[in-house]
Amino acid sequence: MGARERLLASAAALMGISTYEAPIGAVIGPSEAIVDAARRAMGGSLSPMPATRTRWYMSELEAAEYMANQGDLSWAAMLMSAARKDGVISGVLSTRTSGLVRLPKRFRGPSSMVAQLELGHGQVRSVFDEMCPPQDLAVLAADGELLGVGVGELVPVQGRRYPVFVRLDPQFLRFRWNESRWYFQSNAGPIPITPGDGRWVLHTPGGRTSPWMHGLWRAVGRAYIRKEYAATYKDSWEAKLAHPARVAYAPSGSVEAQKDTFFKQVMAWGLNTVFGLTPGYEIKLLESNGRGYDSFIKTIAAQNEEIQICIAGQTVTTDGGAGFQNSDIHRAIRADLIKATADALGYTVNTQILPAWVASEYGEDALEQCPVVEWDVTPPKDRTADATALNIGAQAIVALNEALRAQGRELDIDAMCLKFGIPVKGDINGDGRPDVEPEPAVDDDDKPEERAAVSLVREAA
């Protein structure tokens, strides 16, 4: 079994890929030579130029639903791209995604791998942030929440062993029902997507089957379209009726020349205009006493509330300052939604990105020791409660230990740590006791002596 097959088998086991899925060899797509030629011709990008639609109608939202159920997400993705120009949608969504990926990260796994991911090689950003830029992860998470699915690619970087994750436009995602497989409509033609193969990353928080059915794009798109037209009608009302009409009265005995002169003065009415009127002449303002604009304002407010509830799970207050801090995200977004987004993004990274990094850095033999990452979404008040509980637990352990020692018995510290979730250094598998950590395999062509040493140790064992 080759390196790529080992990586695919490992990714399939991690993601629980069904045995009945068609093997990659049975899928027909453009050859690697054609893909490389198209990539070089387009400066490294495989994505075609995205289409733009600035005006949407409810009938087009319905058409987008029909297209999505046929496996074509182009219109749904274009609608969400247009919707992001709305301030409420963009702001609340960025709080749920950009705010999330900038929360503290926790890594679990072999200490050498974790240290490399966290500390890097002396650069400003860690290896994890260099490999998975926060902004690309945030946009991928946003695609997953809105559309139910997102796509990205691990692109090789000249001068380093590990790749960089690049989010791709979901406008070019296609799902073929007859193959039960995703394709990316690239410049070189439709390319089959194999998640976890070291190149493709498919983020499906909406589920494996019809993930677009569980995205927010239909609810958000409907609110966005209604809000856009309410705002347009409000602008039209203001342009026509918000400015009062000028009514000039001339006395019945005035001649035409006098009327013309008077009316021209009224027509030239500007700022700080002063009129000197003789008896019989009169000027008034005719204003609309209708309240039609209230309907547009109420519609806009209702759609804003619907958008906030849809994305954040509640109506949020956004006047707390210039931006959100790590502690503010828990106030703005419902806690279970933060957790759901974090878990979905962590699952994608742990099953499709980190295994590719382990395979490139340590070799395929180290895939069983692959580290995992999760975002700490614990609210600050819960951290305070946890710290208090740990303090009380420590006092209880000391008291219990003394009480049991007096009876000639011994407290099971490992069981206490496991029951109350007390962190133990070196505990990799989470059983409350330190583990003997295996050394990761070395796969470095520039260090044959280390490879030979590892081989000798394995033979001796």
For residue range 65-92, list pLDDT tens digits in order.
999 999 999 999 999 999 999 999 999 9
Distance separating alpha carbons of residues 10 and 358, to the nearest angstrom: 11
Residue 319: which pLDDT band, with cuts at 50, 70 and 90?
very low
Would you say residue 12 has pLDDT above 80?
no
Would you say residue 448 has pLDDT above 60?
no
Q: Which of 37-51, 179-193, 238-252, 284-298 has the highest mean pLDDT?
A: 179-193
pLDDT of residue 444: 47
pTM given for the model: 0.72
Q: What is the mean pLDDT of residues 22-35?
A: 65
**How many residues are listed for the chain in this entry?**
461
Residue 34: which pLDDT band, with cuts at 50, 70 and 90?
confident
pLDDT digits (tens, 9 = 90+) for 95-122: 889 888 988 899 999 988 998 898 755 5
Task: Record the tokens describing residue 123, joined without a space.
Answer: 């650069």
pLDDT of residue 234: 85
Q: What is the mean pLDDT of residues 363-373?
A: 88
pLDDT of residue 394: 82
Which sign, positive or negative, has the C-alpha torsion 351, 357, 360, 363?
negative
Residue 393: which pLDDT band, with cuts at 50, 70 and 90?
confident
Kindly report which listed range (28-32, 133-137, 181-185, 195-199) carries the lowest average pLDDT score. 28-32
pLDDT of residue 369: 87
Q: What is the mean pLDDT of residues 385-411?
A: 81
Q: What is the mean pLDDT of residues 176-202?
A: 90
Would you say residue 205 has pLDDT above 60?
yes
pLDDT of residue 261: 83
Would you say residue 225 has pLDDT above 90?
yes
pLDDT > 90 in the chain, percent: 34
Q: Which residue has the higher pLDDT, 345 or 189?
A: 345
Q: Which residue has the higher pLDDT, 444 or 212?
A: 212
**Distance (Å) of CA 296 to CA 113, 230, 312, 429:** 57, 5, 24, 57
Q: Which of 183-197, 290-304, 370-384, 409-423 has the highest mean pLDDT?
A: 183-197
Q: Which residue has the higher pLDDT, 368 or 451?
A: 368
Give the number of other CB atoms < 10 A from CB of residue 233: 16
pLDDT of residue 281: 84
Would you say residue 128 has pLDDT above 60?
yes
Would you say residue 455 has pLDDT above 50?
no
pLDDT of residue 37: 77
Q: What is the mean pLDDT of residues 49-56?
A: 90
Residue 395: which pLDDT band, with cuts at 50, 70 and 90?
confident
Give the number of other CB atoms < 10 A from CB of residue 397: 16
Would you say residue 232 has pLDDT above 70?
yes
pLDDT of residue 396: 82
Q: Which of 36-45, 190-199, 407-416 has the highest mean pLDDT?
A: 190-199
